[in-house]
Structure 1
Amino acid sequence: MNSTERRALAGLASLYVFRMLGLFMVLPVLSVYGADYRGSTPALLGLALGAYGLSQALLQIPLGMLSDHWGRKPVIYTGLAVFALGSLLAAQTDSVYGLVAGRMLQGAGAIAAATMALVADLTRDESRGVAMAVIGAAIGLAFMLAAVLGPVLAGFGGLSAVFWLTAVLALLGILLLWRLVPTPQSPRRPAVYRGGFRRVLGCAEVRRLAAGAFFLHLLLTALFVPLPLVLVDTLRLPGSEHWKIYGPVMLGAFVVMLPLMRAAERSGRARAAMMCAQLALAAGSVALWAVSELSLVFLLAVFFVAFNLLEALMPAQLTRAAPAEARGAATGLYATVQFLGAFSGGSLGGWLYGLGGAGAVAQLGIAVVLMWAALWWRMDARAPKAA
């Protein structure tokens, strides 16, 4: 990587950490602390957990396309400001409906597509795999930090404290983007208005990876509906001490994921690594049936190694497969189904938890892994690609 690429990557990786830290801190605490909100039910808390995914899903493609036409950085600035406003709304409400509204407004700051496209714009093709891997590692780091900070912060000030910090992190993200991230020198051509998006939809590998993003985030969000409650009920661990489980799990998963990611990229076996990780995700669902702390920690560690590996490898593969002049549209499609998966996982997870407890959510997770594996196998059989 040259100096410009390193500077851009440092700024964008930091931006990802700040933005995803704000989103991820909610996951391990909302089910526990949201029960105190007026009108709270398991279904509504699941909706609140996944609500940001709905507005994200609706806006990723339009804003990804707009970033091809208007520029990446203006779209990202605007999205971060909207995300901060949603965080402020969620921080000041005492109603579950206000919580849902704040989460939906957070999601309206839909910058994932524009940010991924900006990473691609600022790196050469031979450096892009490394860049996307670093971004994936940054997301994994944010997840690890959030799993520790979320329970600790909520223990002091409830969900409001989490959302206040999220708003501050969004504003710091604006400063990072302004000071550290270069503006691409080549002008963006509005390719999406000349059929670029149709080209994206016509790419089998883009469709395959988009399907993976949907299933991956459905699994993650559904898992975090019952998981905090399982820690309270099964392990008798209060919400403020959940970091004692999440901390070692996330740290261990992050450390194990890094060499696996590098080996997959360097050996050209990214496709095989992704398919193995896909099946390993079933461990997260099995963890909901765990009866001891040791088995729970082990199964969650397997799940998060697989999750972090897929979060790193799939976007890198996407930017290689998509047409260069329509990367904003391709990343928009990817981010749309990713967040639609988060919305579906939160909604389904909350509904099923209300009906049948953690076991019903575990069954959903295993069924999703099997459907995902069958779909990828069928798509590979029809149009095999090299990794």
Structure 2
Amino acid sequence: MHDFKMTRGELRATWALGSLFSLRMLGMFMVLPVLTTYGMSLAGATETLIGIAIGIYGLTQALLQIPCGLLSDRIGRKPLIVGGLLMFALGSVIAALTHSIWGVILGRALQGSGAISAAVMALLSDLTREQNRTKAMAFIGISFGITFAIAMVTGPLITHALGLSGLFWLIALLAFGGIAITLWWVPAPKAHLLNRESSLVKGGLKRVLTNPRLLKLNVGILCVHTLLMSSFVALPPLLEQAGLPRDQQWKAFLCTMLIAFVSVVPFIIYAEKRRQMKRVFQICVLLMLGAEVVLWQSGLQLWGILAGLQLFFIGFNLMEALLPSLISKESPPGYKGTAMGVYSTSQFLGVAIGGSLGGLLYSQGGAALVFGSCTVLALLWFGLSLTMKEPPYVSSLRIVLPDGVEATPALEQKVRDREGVKDVLLASAERSLYVKVDSRCIKRSDLEQLVAS
């Protein structure tokens, strides 16, 4: 019961689903640093349409994220994941075959319609035990950051060697690789577990959407990806104009990503260990604001652009690490899965807005208008961040009631009264307690003993 060592099955599931998630993210992000340069050779291409091609992926993802998560509860995780990857592959093939910007837009829209993130996390929940689930989810979170860095470097290299069409063919192969992993490497779950920590609760959307603390964090991730996508509409052509050829830009992305990864570690340790997440969050917003100002004022000075790029990636990587942790801390007990679903939807809305708006602004006033507008957005976001409160430093636990223990209000109160317990939700139908705890004061094993007694 208290065995915290992952079994072979849990390790296999974690590595398989982490690899699946990474392959899909790789296919999504490799296009980002190259579409605004290589895409301009497509028939009918304009800066505005390139921006739409970048952003429409996020729009279809945002629209289908929550419905696909709920659908996976009905038809099963694996069928939905395979179906989503087939849509992703179909979109990639259409984008590879076309010579028109409209074909790429259609392909990107279909890529985004394969919204499988919620189903992947739910399947991970089915295949891991409670005491090891946090480690498994952390692994997938880390793989996301590494995959983004790899995509920034390999996207320009592959496109220079194979062209934009070749890149989309490779992305289609990655999707089929994900299908193979799902069918033959991911273990088959014995049962679908209703776990509110990783699954959406239909009646919980209103509670999550009206929570002011969660709302500010969702605005935060929307701003992060709006800034990312808008900036990357302007950055690759700007680097080229400043004297860094498109086939050499991968070197700039590699250096900045490596420095960013090393730089964020002390901030994350300080935020968690010293319980200063609000302060680090605000520093992070300031970094991204500073990056946009530097990019705005640099003109065609290459070193200024590279300095702005470096500041941006430090802030971006740090924010990508902080925000999921903040969502987990701020979500009510039993609603973490729903909160993460809304968070993911907000993230992809940012992709849609950033790509489309960035393309429009770039067509009207070039890079200066894009970065100037991003500066205004970052400044507004910083103002909002000043109204944030320090988050509760709690962990989310799900305690399954052992046989013979009744799910009663008295049991819920008994757990609630224990020192270190901050909030409790008793889900009688699931025979589970969802508990928010201060991990410095109480451990999972203590709660399991308390419930069993």
Q: TM-score, normalised by structure 2?
A: 0.77
Residue among 228, 244, 256 paired with 2:236: 228
Out of 166, 187, 196, the residue aligned to residue 204 of structure 2 is: 196
Q: After alignment, is 159-168 or 30-39 more displaced? A: 159-168
Between 18-27 and 66-75, report the one with greater CA deviation.
66-75
2:252 maps to which of 239, 245, 248: 245
Of the three residues 366, 372, 379, the one matched with 2:375 is 366
SS of aligned partner of 2:32 = coil
Q: Which residue identity lines up with residue 237 of structure 1 in the other structure?
A: L
Q: Distance in 1 between matches of 2:335 and 2:126?
A: 11
Q: Tell me the distance in 2 between the aligned counterparts of 1:322 and 1:154.
A: 41
Distance in structure 2 (CA, Å) of the matches to 1:25 and 1:140: 13
Match of 2:108 among 103, 116, 124: 103
Shift of 1:307: 0.9
Secondary structure of the 2:386 match is helix
Tell me how far 1:73 sits from its aligned partner.
3.7
Aligned partners of 1:155 and 1:281: how far apart in 2? 29
Closer, same or farther: CA 171–83 of 1 in aligned 2, 3 Å: same
Alpha-carbon contact 2:125-2:195 (below 8 Å) kept? no
- Residue ranges of structure 2 left out of the alignment (5+ in a row): 394-453
**Would the alpha carbon gap of residues 308 and 247 (structure 1) be closer, same or farther in structure 2, given more than 3 Å must change?**
same
Residue in 1 aligned with 2:309? 300
Deviates more, 1:306-315 or 1:337-346: 306-315
Write the letter of the residue equivalent to 1:229: P
1:158 aligns with 2:163: yes
Q: In structure 2, how many angstroms separate the alpha carbons of the residues matched to 1:80 and 1:233? A: 37
On the 8 A contact 2:201/2:338 being kept in 1, the answer is no
Q: 1: CA distance between counterparts of 2:74 and 2:332?
A: 15
AA in 1 matched with 2:239: L
Letter in 2 for 1:351: L
What residue in structure 2 maps to residue 340 of structure 1?
Answer: 349
**Structure 1 residues without counterparts, runs of 5 or longer:** none
1:221 to partner: Cα distance? 0.3
Matched, 1:2 2:8: no
Distance 2:332 2:76 in 1: 17
Aligned equivalent of 1:43, options 25, 35, 48: 48
Pairwise CA distance, 1:153: 1.0
**Contact 1:210–1:337 (8 Å) recurs in 2:** yes
Aligned CA-pair RMSD: 2.7
* Aligned residues of 2:38 and 2:164 also touching (Cα < 8 A): yes
Alpha carbons 2:51, 2:360 under 8 Å: kept: yes
What do residues 16-59 of structure 1 show as CA deviations (whole Å, max 9, x unaligned)?
Answer: 32111111110110000111111111101111111101111111
Letter in 2 for 1:84: A
Contact residue 51 and residue 357 of structure 2 kept, 8 A: yes
Report the CA distance between 1:94 and its aligned residue. 0.4
Question: With CA pairs under 8 Å and 6+ residues apart, which has the higher RCO, 1 or 2?
Answer: 1
Offset of residue 222 of structure 1: 0.2
**Match for residue 398 of structure 2?**
none
CA contact (8 A) 1:93 1:99 kept: yes
State the partner residue of 2:119: 114
Structure 2 Cα separation of the partners of residues 133 and 275 of structure 1: 23
Larger deviation: 369-378 or 151-160? 369-378
Displacement of 1:78 in angstroms is: 2.0
Offset, 1:336:
1.3
More helix by percentage: 1
Q: How much has 1:334 moved relative to structure 2?
A: 1.3
Paired AA for residue 167 in structure 1: A
Is the Cα–Cα contact under 8 Å of residues 203 and 321 in structure 1 kept in the other structure? no
CA distance in 1, matches of 2:275, 2:131: 13
- After superposing the two structures, state which structure 1 stretch, 177-186 or 265-274, moved more: 177-186
Query: Aligned in 2, Cα 1:43/1:189: closer, same or farther, shift over 3 Å?
Result: same
Q: Which amino acid aligns with 1:244?
A: K
How many residue pairs match? The answer is 383
Deviation at 1:243, TM superposition (A): 0.8
The one-letter amino acid paired with 1:293 is: L
Q: CA deviation at 1:365?
A: 1.1
Instruction: Return the letter of the residue paired with 2:159.
Output: A
The offset of 1:91, in angstroms, is: 0.8
Maintained 8 Å contact 1:64/1:329: no
* Secondary structure of 1:200's aligned partner: helix
CA distance in 2, matches of 1:302, 1:318: 24
1:71 Cα deviation after fit: 4.2
State how 1:1-387 maps to structure 2 within 5 Å. 2-4=5-7, 5-119=10-124, 131-182=136-187, 183=189, 185=191, 187-188=193-194, 195-234=203-242, 236-285=243-292, 286-290=294-298, 291-322=300-331, 325-378=334-387, 380=388, 385-387=391-393
14-23 or 194-203: bigger deviation: 194-203
TM-score, normalised by the number of residues in structure 1: 0.89
Identity %: 43
Give the conservation status (yes or no) of the 8 Å contact 1:67–1:328. Answer: no
Most deviating of 101-110 and 154-163: 154-163
**SS of residue matched to 2:33:** coil
Q: Deviation at 1:269? A: 3.1
Distance 1:123 1:364 in 2: 44
Moved more, 320-329 or 158-167: 320-329
Partner Cα separation in structure 2 for residue 346 and residue 260 of structure 1: 29
The superposition leaves residues 130-184 of structure 1 with CA deviations (integer Å, 9 ceiling, x where unpaired) of 5554433322211211111111111122211111111111121223334454537
Distance across 2 between alignment mates of 1:282 and 1:243: 24
1:217 deviates by 0.6
